């Protein structure tokens, strides 16, 4: 269901093969957003190729890819440290990673609040 401003109500739209979302009864174009998995390029005024469009974030994880890689590296380091100390407990490494997530989230919150405070004054 898509809100149709001309009729001032939600209508069932039909997605055509060319990517347009149209009203089922009158055929008016409601959305013209195009999503593609492969990147497309356009030439700018100078003649250089430039990436066209925007990246759409995947909703599979609550963390970005770089944040997830950082957490994976931290988990590996925690496991290596525990194995080096002679403690081979996966559950302990998962608990330590949870504490690491809380600590880094808190640090980011403090940095954001500090930047807001400094921006105001």
Residue span of the structural domain in which 77 resides: 65-120
Contact 33, 25 (CB under 8 A): no
pLDDT band of residue 90 (cuts 50, 70, 90) is: confident
Q: Could you report the per-residue pLDDT of 50-70, keeping only the tens digit for each?
A: 887 776 666 666 667 788 888
Asked whether residue 93 is assigned to any structural domain, the reply reads yes
Q: Residue 95: its pLDDT value, please?
A: 92
Pick the most confident of 29-43, 51-65, 73-87: 73-87
Is 59 a domain residue? no
Domain count, the chain: 2
pLDDT given at position 73: 93
Can you give the length of the chain in residues? 121
Query: pTM for the whole thing?
Result: 0.43
- The answer to whether residues 32 and 77 belong to one domain is no
User: 76 and 43: one domain?
Assistant: no
Q: Are residues 115 and 91 in the same domain?
A: yes
Q: Describe the crossing of helices 90-120 and 65-84 by its angle, rounded to 10 degrees.
A: 130
**Residue 29 included in any domain:** yes
* Residue 75: predicted pLDDT: 93
- Reported confidence tier of residue 18, pLDDT bands at 50, 70, 90: low
Q: Is residue 60 part of a domain?
A: no
């Amino acid at each position: 269901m898509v809100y149709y401003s001309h009729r001032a109500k939600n209508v069932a739209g039909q997605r055509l093969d060319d990517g347009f979302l149209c009203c089922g009864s009158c055929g008016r174009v409601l959305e013209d957003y195009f999503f593609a998995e492969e990147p497309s390029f356009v030439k700018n005024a100078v003649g250089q190729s430039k990436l066209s469009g925007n990246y759409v974030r995947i909703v599979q994880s609550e963390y970005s890819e770089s944040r997830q890689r950082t957490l994976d590296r931290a988990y590996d380091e925690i496991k290596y440290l525990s194995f080096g100390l002679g403690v081979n407990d996966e559950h302990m490494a998962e608990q330590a990673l949870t504490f690491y997530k809380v600590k880094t989230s808190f640090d980011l919150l403090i940095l954001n609040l500090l930047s807001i405070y400094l921006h105001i004054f």
